[in-house]
Chain A
Amino acid sequence: MAVKNLKRKRSRLSQVFAGILVNSVYEMENYPIVLLNTVVSPLSILLVIVFVSRGSLFGVAIEGGFIMAMFSAGMGLSTDLSHLKNDFKLQDMIVSSPTSWLTYMIGISFSEIVYAIPALLVLTILASFGLSLTLAEVLEFVAVLLLIFITSISIGYTLSTFSSDIVQSFAFTRLISTIFSTIPPVYYPITYIPLPFRYLAYLSPTTYAAELVQGISGYLALSLTTVIIDWTVLVAVTIALFVLAKTKARWREV
């Protein structure tokens, strides 16, 4: 039988938009309470740090809040994708459609950013009081946040494709979030950690991100070598985890 080329022109933008609608807009529209979740998590630790340091770490804590908000948004992808895949079988429907894994992942990733908007707004308002940055520093800051986000969505996506149920996914997500964004010196300068333990902190990519943003805002005096090392590690980890997601994640199951 002759095969006709039935390939029609498809809008990648629509496919990305579908992910945003399903995973954030419709959910927020019908369950507005979810908006509070994204604000509470980064703000809770921020408040503790500010109170304990009597305000001296206000700026660092805001920067930590941003990093945690972006990292949590990316890790949220893991539980959301796992939920959509295992409980509704949506991923199977999408696999058997013209949407690629990358488009699906980008759509759901954007939805996580939409989800994080309330937290990011609150943090931006706080930052206008606690941080003083030039435009170039703001761009540098955003670049760091973007790398952290790509790192976490790569981890989140890979984990979700291996998860067989939502409880398992939640357990992994909480563990990774705690290891990468609560324990490392994200909300306070790395110099607060005693030396032998400081090396352990450098096992987390969020430490490099936090060190960079703390350097940008002047809370840490970083040498040029440290800045270069931090950027190199952060970019390398981001690329490595993205490649891992591309090659090891199970879009089509085996």
Chain B
Amino acid sequence: MDSVSFTLPTQGVFVLIGRNGSGKTTLVRILATNLEATAGTATLNGIDVMSEPDQIRERIAIVPQEARPIPWMTPLQSVLSYLLWRGLGYAEAKQKACEMLDRLKFGKKARALNRTLSGGMKRKVLMAMILCTEAKVIFLDEPTTGLDPISRREFWEVLQEIRKDRFVVLTTHYMEEAEQLADTIGVLEEGRLIALGTLDELRRRLRYNYSVKLLSIPAPPITLTEGEMVKGRHDLPVILTTEDEAFRIAQNLSRERIKFTINPVGLEDIFFYMHSGGDTGGS
């Protein structure tokens, strides 16, 4: 991490996006007291993460990247044991675990071995573990990586439960996930926070409000009176421009029978724009 400095209200969902190795996991691990920072300070609700980790640990919970439930245990045993580790008595822990698994509609799977569950259900077990706790700050490091779209949507539903009365810090590579869930978005690049704000704030900082995505390579020669062309997903060309210019380009592309999509600017456009060196006015 390099000179990351920000202050956020501890409510809602804070989503961190960035390329692999940009520092998302490092930042989360420092805040969750898993990793000791070499310099700097971080406080959560006024408590110093570096010097008072035990105080912080009373009120946080984390699902680390690549975490998975222990295969020789059942979801019920997983949630129960985690609550015991958080210091609850056996009877209270068992009652809470059963209630939570009912609420998340585990049914008979609550007593099936974790190794027999689908990928989506395994993630749900981890979510049940932390959802059951009294932790007010939840860290989720890439919790939906590798999940199919339906399982991911189910996960979002669980997250809507969590966000009601807790602060969630979530890292993801999925832009639609960040758009869907985030109250605040932070963009990290090479250990630096290059943007921070709500989706609307990030949109406003981009000079353009429309994106035209071409669906084939190479891009045909296009004369832009206003806007910029950046590389998007799969290196496909994306033109970021104003609404009028976007529709003018769209008409030209239609005439030449070139396939494209046209949309208001989304987080993915902002992300690619920033990583292509585009100026958004700093964070």
Measuring CB to CB, which residues of chain A are less than 8 angstroms from any residue of chain B? 1-3, 6-12, 14-15, 17-19, 21-22, 26-27, 30-31, 84, 87-90, 92-100, 104, 252-254
Contact = CB atoms under 8 A, between A and B. Distances in A.
Interface string B85-108: 111111001000000000000000
Contacts of A100: 54
Contact of A97 (B47, B55, B80, B85): B85
Contact of B87 (A27, A30, A98): A98
B73 interface: yes
By size class, the interface of chain B is 35 or more
Contacts of A1: 45-46
Nearest to A10: B87
A88 B36 contact: no
13 contacts: A6-B136, A10-B87, A14-B89, A30-B113, A87-B68, A93-B61, A93-B63, A93-B64, A95-B32, A97-B61, A97-B86, A99-B86, A252-B36
B236 interface: no
Interface in B50-82: 53-55, 57-70, 72-73, 77, 80-82
A26 B77 contact: yes
A103 to B, nearest CB: 9
A6 B36 contact: no
B190 interface: no
A253 B70 contact: no
A98 to B, nearest CB: 5
B199 to A, nearest CB: 26
Contacts of A254: 35-36, 38
Contact of A92 (B38, B62, B136): B62
A104 to B, nearest CB: 8
Nearest to B10: A1
A6 B44 CA distance: 13
Given A3-B45, A97-B57, A98-B58, A22 B67 contact: no
Those 10 A-B pairs whose CB atoms lie nearest each other, nearest first = A10-B87, A18-B84, A89-B67, A89-B64, A92-B64, A96-B62, A14-B84, A18-B85, A96-B32, A3-B46
